[in-house]
Each structure stands twice: as C-alpha cells, then as structure tokens.
Structure 1
C-alpha cells in the first residue's frame, strides 16, 4: 500500500512537468513563427488549433497500445524531448535555407502534438494499474496536468524567453522531458523491458541538449547571420523583443524582431522630417514628448533647438535605451543624446504614460515614433483612443507628428492612420520622404489649430531637409493617394493591423 502511494505521487509530479513542457513547446513554435513571419494572431491561432487537433489524434492512437505501457511512455518522452528540444533551431534553419518553412512548422506541431496526446492516456492507465480507483486517478491527473500547463505558460514569457532566448529554452525543456524519462526508468525499472537501450538513448540525447544550451549563443549567432545581410555585432532577447545590431563598413543597422529600425547611412532623412517639420510648425518648443524613439536619434534632432528645456522620452523596453545609450556605434550616431541633462527617460508603456500624465503637464510638441503596426500589441498605439490621449497631453497650440508607415508599399495602412488621427485632431497634414533603406516613408502632422503649410518656415535645416524642398514633402503622387474609403482604427476593431498585414503579403 505504501509503495502504491509513493508511486502515485511520483507520477503526479511527472504529469505536472510534462504538461508544463508541452505548453512551452506550443508557445515556442508560435513565438518563433511570429518573429520570423509576423502576424502573431495567425501564428498562435494555427499553432494552438493544430496542436490541439494533433493531441486528439495522439489520444485516439493510444488505444492501440495495449502492453508495455512504461516502455511506450519512455519512448514518447524521449521523442518529445528530442523534437521539442530542437524545434526552435529547426524553425530558424528552415526560414534561412528552405522555401517551405510552413511545412516544417506544421510537421513539428503535428508530431509533438501527437506525442503529447499520448502522454496523459498512458499515464492514466499506468496510475490506474498501480493505484487503482479510476475516479481518483482521473481527477488527480487532470488537476496536475492543468496546473503544469499554467506553470509553463507563466514561466515562458516571464522567465524562460527573456533569460534564455529561443534556443536555450527549447534545449532546456527538451532536457526536462528526457529527465522525466530517466526518472521513470529508475523509479519503475522492474516494469520496463529495455532499460539498457533506453539509458543509452537518454544519455546521448541529454548530452546533446546540454551541449545545445552551452553553445546556444554560438548557434544563434551563426543562424541569425543568415537572416541578415550584414555581420551581426550584437544580439539580445529582452523581456519584450529581440534586438539585433548589424554592421557593414560604416553602415550600422538596428533590427527589432527582425524589422529594421534604422540604417546609419540614411536615418537622418527620416529623423529630420519627423522632428523638424513639427518643431517648425509649433509656436513654442520648450517641452517635447517623444513616444518610442529609444534609439535617441529623434532626441539628437530635438536638442538642436536651444529653446527646448525638457524632453521626455517614453520607450517600453529598457534594453533598447540602454543599448543605444552605451553601444559605441549608436552612441556616436545619436551624439550621446540619451545622456543629456534635458532628457528624462521613462521605460514604461506609452499608453499608460499618457493616461497617467493627462491633465498634469502639457507638451508643446509630441513625436510619435513607434514601430510599424505589425502586431496587435503595437496596433494599440495607433488607435483613435491613443491619439485622443495624445491630444489631451498636447497644449492648445501644440503640434504632433506620427510615424505612419509607407504611403506606397502600405498605402491603406498609411491613410488609415491619417483618418484615425483626424478623428481626434482637427487639422492633419500628411507628408512623406524617400529613405533608401525603408523606401517611401510617411508621417502625419497634426494640430488643434490650423497650420499654413504653404507658409511654413523651417527653423532648422539638415543634411536633407531644407527650406527649398520643404513643400515637396507634402506632395503625393497619384499612385500614393487613397483610392477607397478606409475605416478608423480602434481597440475593438483593429482595421489598421489588417491593412498592414495585407500590404506585407502583397509585397512578399
């Protein structure tokens, strides 16, 4: 009786661990696919749906396993450990070297899901045979299964991914599955027929997982190099996103989640029109708010105005601001702007900052320099409600500029942002500039009072932007104008995300 109770507890622990591992694999495949392909809603939906279906298939197949349950369970755990442990690296390799990334992704989901679907039915039958009482067995095993799933879903975003990254997380969790198979092997060896063979496979596979963890940075560096044109000189997974810095001769480029943020060769074009147009249109320039712009390049341009007394920079990711404050190549590019006395950095959500600051202090100029709206998270920062909060934080004579994607490559998205800003600001003036590393890139100039664009005098000329070409940035070619009625982007109806993702597919 005592041995049955002890065996029962050890198998409950097993259930808890393998359930957590299963959840991490599901989240890993979804996250890697979102990082490589974009459209996180689609990737998570496909992964979850297909994974659940494959688990159902595995549960169905379990009925054909009638004997040697422990041997089968060890086989399943070894297989899950190997497939899950190598899942991230195989997806990255597929993206770099194969055209059929989706085939590899779907194959991983189906294989891992099917094997995971075998786990609980096998454990249930093992526990029933050793402990008896089907009612208690089912209630206990599903309780530990659900709790383990919760543990995995919490550990992945808060601990595993930020601290270990995609590769080490997969190898670690794969090693955990292999560890469980070894734990079962030693705990129930009298029920198992091929102990010597299983030990050899487990030890060899486990050694592979450990080596993978130890050399994950080298593997990541080698594979990531295939994702980028230039040499990767810095790579970091922050709690929020993947940062990669590349360099080729004098060209330094920053990528966030695979999307280029700037090239040192032409970033001045982007930042000159983002900053100097609204700064020239504003009647006062004492207090400036920059939302996003953690690279410090917009701050560099704002600091050219002597009348500026205060600059507040709000960027969620401290990893970005610290990288751009300390890395010698970026610090040289932004001229050490992130260390200036006039600047105060807030590493918090821009949406929450605006909510908390509303009514406390008004700004003369607000610069919205957010990443493109390629996910539901960033889409929130392009909604009518977000621009309403911007308006509440802007003085009556203040001016705002909004980064708005490309009017040529993502025309519907650009004009959707235009219409959304118009919902909250009485006067909105679209403009754009050609940035070689980006293409044709657009902005919105918005204010509560009318701006005489044709009489606008540039207060600060740059390498690109001068008084002579100022009027030209407000002119659009016929192929860049909106051809249809576009809906306003809101929290409840993220139309902008839909327009942006459609544009991405059209230009693939």
Structure 2
C-alpha cells in the first residue's frame, strides 16, 4: 500500500502527464496549421509535421534512457524548454517568413517540430519512472500515465479546433500553451521542492520564462502583425482567422485587396476584368437566365455582375466560410465594390461545401459559375475533379452554361489545361478563355455546355467596364507557350482516385 504522500505524488504525476499531453498535441497540430498557412498544401504540411513530431517523440523516448536520476528536476527543465521553444514558435515563424531568405521558414518549422516532439517524447518515460520510484508498480504506472497521455491527446485536438485556433489565433495559442506547460512545471517544482536542490534558482528561472511568455501573449500578436505586414504590398486594414482560413484586407489609396490564407482573391482596381469574363460570356449565351448558381464568390462581386440581368429571379451562392460572406456584407470597402449584392432579396447564401451542396440539391440552373480557390490542397482538389464537374453538369439545364475559373495558363500551364481536360471528360463541350488581370497576371477560364458554344454571336446586354462583344475572339486565342500542346506532359483528367492536379499545381507555382 502507498502512503498518503506517495498517493498524492502519484496523482500529481498522472495529472501532469495528461496536461502536458494536451499541450503536446496542440503544438503538433499548431505546427501543421502554421505550415499549411505559410507554406501551402495543407495535407503535405500536416503529414510532414505529424511525422516529424512523432519521430521526435521516438528520439526523445530513446534519449530518456539516460535520465535515471533526479527525475523531477529533469522533467521540470524539459517543461521549461517546451514552454519557451513552443511558446515563441509561431511568433518566430512569422518573423522568419517576413525577413529571412526563401526556404528558411520551412527549415525552421520542420526543425522546431522535431525538437518539440523530442522534448515531448522524453516527458512520459520520466513520469513513468518517477511513478515507479515512489512505489507504484511498473504495470500500473505505465498504464495510468499512458491513459492520461492518450486522453490528453484527444482533449488537446478538440481544444485546438474549437477553442484555441478560432479564438486566440496561432501566435497567442502558442504562448498560451507554453504558459500551461510552464504552470505544470512550476506546480511540480513547488510540490516536490523538498527533493530539489537550489529550489530558488529553478523557481526564479521559471518565473523569468513566465514573464517572457506573458509579454508574448499580450504583445506578440501585434509584433507578428507587423511581420506579416511585410508579406503584403499594402497596409492591412482587416485581419481575422475564421474556422477555415485567414482573411486579410489591405488598402492603399484606391486599391482594396482581399487575401485568403495569403493568396490574393481580388484587387479593386482590376477585379472587373476578372469578374466580367467569369460572368458575362456564360450569362449572355443563355436566353432568359432565371436561376443562377455561384460556387464560391463569397466576396459578392460575381453576384453583383449577375444581378445586372433583369431576367434573373434567383441566385444561389454557395461559399464554405460564413466569415467571408459576413465581411462582404459589413466591411464598407467591400460593400462599395460588391454594392451589397449578397443582401439582395434574390440572392440566397448557403455556407456549406460546394461538393456536398451539389450532392444534396435537386435544383437545375441556367448558369453555373465556379469561382473557387485554386486546387492547392486535398479539400480543394476534390472541387477540380471529374466527379465534381459531373455533379455540376447534372444540375445544368439542357441549354445552360458553365464558367470555371481555372488558374493561369501562363504561370500554371499544365494546371490550366488539366482542368480543361477534366471538364471535357464529363462529355461537356468546352471553350477556353484567358484575360490579363494586372494584379494576377494572365488568368484562364473554361466555359462549358451541353450544347456547342458559339462566342461569335454573343452580345452582352448589360453595362461593363472592360468586356466588349468584339473582343471575345481575342480571349480565346492562346500563344505557343500557353496553349494545349505541352511538351513531355501527359494530359489526363483529374479524379478523386488519381488527384494528380495537386502535384502539378505545386510544381507550377513553386517559382512564383
């Protein structure tokens, strides 16, 4: 039987193992989120960071064999290191991204993931040995510490998704979790103080780390904001982190720009070039377009262009992130651009996944406009597959038209033509268009229909700032370095089973 002191100490160990496990899993997914936001390709970054973190834990567990004495003070110092390194991880990542040469941020992220993983891997073996040292049998100490660890892992994942990321953001979350690690260390330091030599020295160092973390918690995000400002051309006037992405708005004189996860969505000075080509060729080629579907377009600009057509009775706009729609309806700069289109009585907004919406709805549409973000991760890739475009086709009326934004045929030639080939694979007739948008560069679109497409007879019946009837043929002309004849490249449809478009996209944009 354990005496009262041993029982109390064993409980402290189990609680400590659960709490540090919560912190460990939060740091693990935080590093994945950082990589996804700053480096792109979320699946790749989460895969690498989780793999490196687990590898680090394995290395740490192996190194823990050397820690056989003074276990409590070693545990305390490991927590000091996790608190300091993990707490400043996000803050330093933004600084490196802003000031250091390209590629340094990736090296830093993967290194810090491995280091924090290794420190986390040392924690549990030490706690198990300490529990065994105070009289708990090895089987019980191992089982109970591991239970605390696994249960803590679940709690940590849930807390990150539903609390830390949406309410604190990535910089404050790191400092806050670092403080939790530090608090565990200081509590253990106090409760085991009779076993620890130079208790005051360790306590002062711990308090010093706490002061740094608290300063980071209150001031780090503001400093990181100045770092991030260097990533954007113009001053930031709005920044928020929704449940799905980071939303940034910049403003310089007359130029308003919207960024999602660092990718430019539009510039107010030339967005009309993009949106008029997205909307009017499809709308003008349908007689009496009454029912229009917009997939994406949460900024409301495409809807504004569609509302110019008097025949339109209903616009259904499907955008996953309600925060983007809310911003479009409340930010005075965006309202000036979209003219309050999303609040029009004929516009119905659905905040849901576009793939899921098409699977659920029974509606047929005269025009479907696909204005979705580029396919730079797995979740977006499914919206550029044969399966997705088949769903789009199945909700298109027999004489209806589809227009898809399809990235740049200049910067990402293989990507553009793969998207076009994927749409064609659904037995739709296609027409390829591209336009120069100064803020983007040369940008491509794919128009599709069950019927043959004839742009020569197209007449735009509404006012425009850029597009004319006479220029349509010019939009369909591609130069030799941007056309479909791509040397040493196999053009094939992108599918859910073979999502090769992601790799093509990543390779195409790596130099831009």
Alignment TM-score, normalising by the size of structure 1: 0.97
- Equivalences for 1:467-482 in 2 at 5 Å? 467-482=469-484
| Match of residue 283, structure 2, among 276, 279, 288 | 279
Separation in 1 of the partners of 2:310 and 2:470?
23
Answer whether contact 2:247 2:261 (CA < 8 A) is retained.
yes
Q: CA deviation at 1:461?
A: 4.6
Answer whether contact 1:224 1:232 (CA < 8 A) is retained.
no
In the other structure, the counterpart of 1:63 is 65
| Match of residue 403, structure 2, among 384, 401, 404 | 401
Moved more, 265-274 or 224-233: 224-233
Q: CA deviation at 1:270?
A: 0.2
Separation in 2 of the partners of 1:278 and 1:241?
30
Separation in 1 of the partners of 2:483 and 2:388?
25
| Alpha carbons of structure 1 residues 298 and 90: separation in structure 2 relative to 1, 3 Å | same
In the other structure, the counterpart of 1:147 is 151
In the other structure, the counterpart of 1:497 is 502
Q: CA deviation at 1:455?
A: 2.4
Q: CA deviation at 1:213?
A: 2.0
Separation in 1 of the partners of 2:353 and 2:341?
21
- Equivalences for 1:33-48 in 2 at 5 Å? 33-48=35-50
Number of equivalent positions: 505
- Whether 1:410 aligns to 2:412 is yes
- Equivalences for 1:89-488 in 2 at 5 Å? 89-99=91-101, 100-357=104-361, 360-482=362-484, 483=486, 484-488=489-493
Residue by residue over 1:415-462, the C-alpha shift from the partner in whole angstroms, topping out at 9 and shown as x without a partner, is: 111111112242111111110000110111111111223322233351
Residue by residue over 1:39-75, the C-alpha shift from the partner in whole angstroms, topping out at 9 and shown as x without a partner, is: 2232222222222222222222222223211111100
Moved more, 412-421 or 22-31: 22-31
Residue by residue over 1:231-285, the C-alpha shift from the partner in whole angstroms, topping out at 9 and shown as x without a partner, is: 0100000000000001111111000000000000100000000000100111231
Separation in 2 of the partners of 1:219 and 1:346?
36
Separation in 2 of the partners of 1:460 and 1:475?
24
Separation in 2 of the partners of 1:425 and 1:210?
60
Gaps of 5+ in 2: none
Answer whether contact 2:91 2:221 (CA < 8 A) is retained.
no
Moved more, 205-214 or 411-420: 205-214
Which secondary structure state, in structure 1, belongs to the residue aligned with residue 339 of structure 2?
coil
Separation in 1 of the partners of 2:111 and 2:454?
59
Alignment TM-score, normalising by the size of structure 2: 0.96
Separation in 1 of the partners of 2:69 and 2:245?
47
Separation in 1 of the partners of 2:48 and 2:495?
25
Separation in 1 of the partners of 2:110 and 2:331?
39
Answer whether contact 1:425 1:447 (CA < 8 A) is retained.
no
Residue by residue over 1:454-483, the C-alpha shift from the partner in whole angstroms, topping out at 9 and shown as x without a partner, is: 322233351110012122111111111121
| Match of residue 72, structure 1, among 74, 80, 83 | 74
Separation in 2 of the partners of 1:261 and 1:155?
30
Gaps of 5+ in 1: none
Q: CA deviation at 1:318?
A: 0.7
Moved more, 456-465 or 320-329: 456-465
Separation in 2 of the partners of 1:257 and 1:426?
32
Separation in 2 of the partners of 1:188 and 1:487?
65
Runs of 4+ residues over 6 Å off in structure 1: none
Residue by residue over 1:127-162, the C-alpha shift from the partner in whole angstroms, topping out at 9 and shown as x without a partner, is: 111132101111111111111111112221222111
Answer whether contact 1:291 1:370 (CA < 8 A) is retained.
yes
